[in-house]
Amino acid sequence: MYYFVRCSSYIQVADLVEASKTYDTLESLLDFDVANDTVKSPGSHSRNLRCVRQGLDLVRALFEQFLSTDDYPLREAASTAYDNVCAPNHSWTIRTAVAAGMYALPSRDQLLVNLEETHQSAEKKMKRLYPLMLQLQRLKFPPCAS
């Protein structure tokens, strides 16, 4: 599941980098898709932008859950973050697949080992990125269709 999300995000970000050569502002990019009724079309720049933002919101929400207590299991933190950020925009099929995929997540401690981080170093990095995540959350984009 992680591989799919990572690949999907990479494609969406690459599309936005390419779009930045054509559109001077996010507003002009959105205006173009609105005028052409492609805001919710798969592969449209505005949909990709909304989906990348939603992915960043998911990371922000996961940070919040992760930082709330050292005793919060990763699976529970990830499920809560997903339920709050992404689930309202996903179909039943996607929500069910995500719920099943949560069981493949490592423990919180194993994740930190895999990332070669300690609780303290991970917390420090998350706290450094968190203000940027909040700024991005304030941006308003058209909804990402499932």
Ordered DSSP codes for 95-119:
HHHHHHHGGGPPPHHHHHHHTT--H
Q: What is the pLDDT of residue 146?
A: 44
pLDDT at 2 over 60: no
CA 115 to centroid of chain Cα atoms: 19
Q: Using one digit for the tens of pLDDT, what is the confidence trace for 5-54? A: 666 778 888 898 899 899 988 888 889 999 999 988 988 998 888 888 88
Q: Using one digit for the tens of pLDDT, what is the confidence trace for 75-92? A: 998 999 999 998 998 899
pLDDT at 138 over 80: no
The 10 Å Cβ neighbour count of residue 126 is 18
CA 93 to centroid of chain Cα atoms: 18
Averaged pLDDT of the chain: 84
This prediction has a pTM of: 0.75
Angle, helices 45-68/119-137, rounded to nearest 10 degrees = 140
Percent of the chain residues topping a pLDDT of 90: 24
